[in-house]
Structure 1
Amino acid sequence: MNLMPVEAVSIKSLEFSEQGRVAQTGPDFAQAIGQGLDQVDASLAQADAAARSMAAGNDIPVHDVMLAMEQAHLKLQFAVEVRNRVVEAYQSLTNMQV
């Protein structure tokens, strides 16, 4: 087993904008959540289409339908867990005494 050391994070590696704020290198939180929800919605729609296709008598393997449904179920569970964590974090912030 080859173990690699963890590199230290330094403030020098952060890029600062003109106003002294850290430059944004990726999507913001709202965009990331929106993209995640779009993926969950697409997965649910794909699973629904596969189930409807099989129910209509089209030649689609049962295991493909079950895989699509399980993937959609797992993505939905993950989205619900993220929502629960965000709500929990918000509640802990609102209950914090100043």
Structure 2
Amino acid sequence: MNVTEIGAIQGASSAQASTLAPVRNASESFGSMLMGGVMNVDHAVQSANAAVAGFALGNELPPHQVMLALEDARLQLQFALQVRSRLVEGYQELMRMQL
């Protein structure tokens, strides 16, 4: 692979990333964004539980799909916990401010 091929690949990936970026509605509130994120995490956890149950019951589910579902749910849950801890830290910082 030469330098021009690498540049073409990087250019294509950056163009794809910009077209795939989600567009947020300006009227969407912060609370609704948080609730949407929590619902996405809940859906990922439920999907992982269903995959594990299906695998345990002997369904034709490959083990790698079960592991991917579990890892996706774990990562989404960790991200949600990080967001929660940052929000709590921000709230505590606001409460410590002197008026």
**What is the TM-score when the length of structure 2 is the normalising length?**
0.74
In 2, Cα distance between the equivalents of 1:87 and 1:36? Answer: 17
Structure 1 unaligned spans of 5+: 2-23
In 2, Cα distance between the equivalents of 1:26 and 1:47? Answer: 32
Pairs within 5 Å for 1:4-83: 25-83=26-84
Deviation at 1:76, TM superposition (A): 0.2
Greater relative contact order, per chain length (Cα 8 Å cut-off, separation 6+)? 2
Deviations 1:36-89 (CA, angstroms, capped at 9, x unpaired): 000000000000000000000111000000000000000000000000000000
Deviation at 1:27, TM superposition (A): 1.1
Deviation at 1:25, TM superposition (A): 1.3
Structure whose alpha-carbon radius of gyration is higher: 1
In 2, Cα distance between the equivalents of 1:55 and 1:26? Answer: 44
Pairs within 5 Å for 1:81-96: 81-96=82-97
Structure 2 unaligned spans of 5+: 1-6, 8-24
Q: Percent identity?
A: 43
Moved over 4 A (4+): none
**What is the TM-score when the length of structure 1 is the normalising length?**
0.74
Deviations 1:6-37 (CA, angstroms, capped at 9, x unpaired): xxxxxxxxxxxxxxxxxx81411100000000
> Larger % of helix: which?
2
Residue of structure 1 equivalent to 2:19: none
User: What CA RMSD, in Å, does the superposition of the two structures yield over aligned residues?
Assistant: 1.3
Residue of structure 2 equivalent to 1:97: 98
In 2, Cα distance between the equivalents of 1:60 and 1:41? Answer: 21
